[in-house]
Each structure stands twice: as C-alpha cells, then as structure tokens.
Amino acid sequence: MSYFAFVRLYSAIEVTIFAALLVVWLGGLDPAAKSVLGWTHGFGWIGLCLLVANGCVRGVFPWTLFAATVSPLGPVGSTVGIEVLRRRRQVA
C-alpha cells in the first residue's frame, strides 16, 4: 500500500469517527460514547496531522492539504483534499 493510499484510508476512518462523534453529541446520546469518541477523534486527528505533514515533507502532498487538515474542518478538510488530489492524478 502506498503512503498516499494509507493516509487516504486513515483520513476516511478519522472522518467516520468524527461523524459518529457529532451524531452522539448532537443527539444527546450516551455520555460514555461521547467521551470515547471524543478522545479517539482527538488523538486520531493529531495523528492525521502528523501523517499529512510527513507526506508534505516527502513531497507526496502539497502544503495546502496540511492547511486543510489543521483547519477547523479537520478530517473533513483532509478527506476532501485527498480526494481532489486523487482525481487530479487520475486525469493527468
């Protein structure tokens, strides 16, 4: 598996965790689930930022993807950015 594919998969998993956290939080559901999802998302997002930064240093990703990852959009920004990059590479 390439580094690009690994980070793409990791980003998709992280955005899924983030979405689950939003559903639990907005729905006022189980506080324990909210806590677990919150901690998982927090550490997962930090890991995602480190992976994307490493990819930028290695030349796999442009620095604009890192900006999208550390923005308030977080894993949503990185997932959208990675998909845009993937589609541009298929066309080129």
For the cut 60, the answer to whether the pLDDT of residue 92 exceeds it is no
Give me the domain span that covers residue 58.
3-91
Per-residue confidence (pLDDT) for residue 39, from 0 to 100: 98
**Stretch 18-32: mean pLDDT, rounded?**
96
Residue 54's H or E segment, with its range, is helix 31-58
How many domains are there within the chain? Answer: 1
Q: What are the pLDDT digits (tens) for 34-58?
A: 999 999 999 999 999 999 999 999 9
Cα R_g (the chain), whole angstroms: 14
Burial group, residue 51, by CB count within 10 angstroms (0-12, 13-18, 19+):
buried
pTM, to two decimals: 0.90
